[in-house]
Amino acid sequence: MEENKESTLPKRVVRTITLTQDDLSLLDGIERVMSRTGQRIKTDSKLIRAAIQVAHSTLHDEAFDIMEVAERVVKEDGRTLSRFLEKDKKAK
């Protein structure tokens, strides 16, 4: 069952990006908004993924729900999922 959850994760690619201090400040602002949803989105990669999804929806005039975006980003993060699985194992 655990392997099934991990196999449904999107393929993750490591890519180096360069950000300015202004970019980092904007990420901090995104983190504050996303944390209001109740999701813990502290890592830059999760914040960037959330911002990409919101920007994509905005550019294509698609409606989006910030809570859905936050939940998807957290669920698709491999490190977060592995922590959830460990907690689940310990609970049983």
Q: What is the dihedral of CA 28, 81, 53, 15, to 10 degrees?
A: 80
pLDDT band for 1, please (50, 70, 90 cuts).
very low
If you ran DSSP here, which 8-state letter would residue 48 be given? H
Identity of residue 6:
E
Query: Is residue 29 helix, strand or coil?
Result: helix
Given a cut of 60, whether residue 58 has pLDDT beyond it is yes
Given a cut of 50, whether residue 34 has pLDDT beyond it is yes
Q: How many CB atoms lie within 10 A of CB 50?
A: 24
Given a cut of 80, whether residue 90 has pLDDT beyond it is no
Q: What is the dihedral of CA 56, 62, 66, 70, to 10 degrees?
A: -50
